[in-house]
Copies of this chain bind each other. A is one copy, B any other.
Amino acid sequence: MRLLIVSTSSIHGKPYLTYLEDEVKSFFQGKKILFVPYARPGGISWDEYTAKASERFTEWGFEMTGIHTHEDPIKALAEADGVFTGGGNTFVLVKTLYDLGLMKPLKEAVENGLPYMGSSAGSNLTGLTVRTTNDMPIVYPPSFDALGLVPFNINPHYLDPDPSSTHMGETRETRINEFHHFNDQPVIGIREGSWLRREGDQLELKGPHTARLFRKGSAAIEREQGDWSDLL
């Protein structure tokens, strides 16, 4: 299985996806990429979102089409060299995939070797469930189960507590610890600008930041970039 699990599509001060150029080029190599626009950031349409992603991927020499433009999306998955699920609202993304009957075909295609890249909501989708998303539950999906392409959950846009904050809402770490009162799997908090790359049985943390690993019953720990294959 080949996965690129990205915390954020944009880092502060840089245009959409540009910081990932080298990684994306080395990951996909092939030319035909299917874009999954269903997370609709800011509520934009599938067409608008596909146009935004395509602009960058075309500039990099890839062909890209939106999965929604294909009469038979399952056939389109079979014919693509890669799939990229963009960020936005995780609940909207998951509900749409379930409603269109695409969750299972997408999982099978990736398990059978189709390279999968996700950012933010698209990264949540690679985990066991989407129960560690940061998003607002603006629609009700038929399940919180995700693709389960890795045996843990993702928390993208991971944010450290701000010691100067007077806000009383829960910190990210508190939220994930609450998750572990009701769920068993590890959670990896990936900071903006970093990503995981899976190649078969190898898992690597890449980018400028360490990542935070939460396991039920233990204190969270920071782990360095490099080999994380023990999590698989």
The answer to whether the Cβ of A128 comes within 8 Å of any Cβ in the partner chain is no
Residue of B nearest to A179 (CB): B138
Interface centre among A169, A176, A192 (most CB of B within 10 A): A169
Number of copies: 2
A140, B137: Cβ atoms closer than 8 Å: no
A139/B182 in contact, CB under 8 A: yes
Nearest-neighbour CB distance to chain B for A176, whole angstroms, equals 8
Asked if A12 and B139 make an inter-chain contact with CB atoms under 8 angstroms apart, the answer reads: no
Q: Contact size class for A?
A: 35 or more
B138 to A182, Cβ gap below 8 A?
yes
Q: A167-B159, A168-B8, A181-B40 are in contact. Are A136 and B140 (CB under 8 A)?
A: no
Once A138-B131, A144-B140, A157-B167 are accepted as A-B contacts, the answer to whether A177 and B8 lie under 8 Å apart by CB is no
Q: Are A178 and B136 interface neighbours, CB within 8 A?
A: yes
Residues of B within 8 A of A134 (CB): 136, 169
| A136:B175 contact, CB within 8 angstroms | yes
Interface residues of A in 152-181 (CB under 8 A from B): 157, 159, 166-170, 174-181
Residues of B within 8 A of A181 (CB): 40, 43, 138
Q: How would residues 86 to 123 of chain A score, 1 for a CB under 8 Å from any chain B CB and 0 otherwise?
A: 00010110000000000000000000000000000000
Would you list 30 pairs from A and B whose C-beta atoms are within 8 A, ordered by A residue?
A8-B169, A10-B168, A11-B168, A12-B166, A12-B168, A40-B181, A41-B178, A43-B180, A89-B178, A91-B137, A92-B178, A92-B182, A130-B137, A131-B136, A131-B140, A132-B138, A133-B136, A133-B137, A136-B175, A136-B176, A136-B178, A138-B175, A138-B178, A138-B183, A139-B182, A140-B144, A157-B167, A157-B169, A159-B169, A167-B192
Residues of chain A having any CB pair with chain B under 8 Å: 8, 10-13, 40-43, 89, 91-92, 130-140, 143-144, 157, 159, 166-170, 174-183, 192
